[in-house]
Amino acid sequence: MRKFRFGLGLLAVVSLAAFLGAAVGRAQAPARPAATGGAVQANLAQLAAEHRKLLELLEAEHVAMKKFDLAAISDLITKGEASRLRINDLENRRRAIMRQITSALKLSQEPRLTRLAELFPPQAPQLLSVRAELRHLAEKISRRSQGSSRLASAVLGHLNYVVRMLAGAVERAGLYNRQGIPRVVSRVGSMDAVG
């Protein structure tokens, strides 16, 4: 019986020593950041994909605005808002990853992508290409948004003119000519339509 207890005790001591040795070995290993360049690259790829979806939605919204398809415009606005929320979520994740890298590498400030490319050379080409793609997509989205804004402003101006014409007609609805046709304001100038 004693041999069994001793054997079990020896096994426990050997296991404990192996565990402590592994723990000591882990403590002495150099600290690697929890988030690496690969995590940033994956996040940026997701951001680029979501920006591509948003650009497609904006293009479709612009076409729907030209056709004055209200149902499609409403649907696309809802989808665009959902896409913007996903982009915001991905951007918050990117910032969290960058904070992890900053604290793990003990940097004084959050590194830019060019600095990350220097810190993680294997991912450098991918990081820089995704950065260029995101810049290109952001420029396209900005241009499309400005174009849609101008189109919406022009449509609003036309609607404003129509409403002013109708208001002018209703204002003088009691005045009829000899043929029984109501008299309407002859012309509303562009300055009158704006208001």
Residue 17 lies in a domain: no
Look at residue 91 and tell me if it is in a domain: yes
pLDDT value at residue 166: 78
State the DSSP string of 57-116. Answer: HHHHHHHHHHHT-HHHHHHHHHHHHHHHHHHHHHHHHHHHHHHHHHHHTT-SSPPPHHHH
Longest dimension (CA), the chain: 128
pLDDT level of residue 43 (50, 70, 90 thresholds): very high
Give the distance from CA 42 to its chain's centroid.
15
Residue 3 in domain: no
Output the pTM of the full model: 0.64
Q: What is the mean pLDDT of residues 21-48?
A: 64
Residue 93 lies in a domain: yes
Q: 2-18, pLDDT tens digit by residue?
A: 444 444 343 333 333 44
Give the residue numbers spanning the domain of 87.
Answer: 34-149
The answer to the question of residue 9 being in a domain is: no
Q: How many domains are contained in the chain?
A: 1
Residue 78: predicted pLDDT: 95
Is 27 contained in some domain?
no
More confident residue, 136 or 37: 136
> Does 14 map to a domain?
no
Digit-coded pLDDT (tens) for 133-155 = 999 999 999 999 898 888 888 88
Residue 195 lies in a domain: no
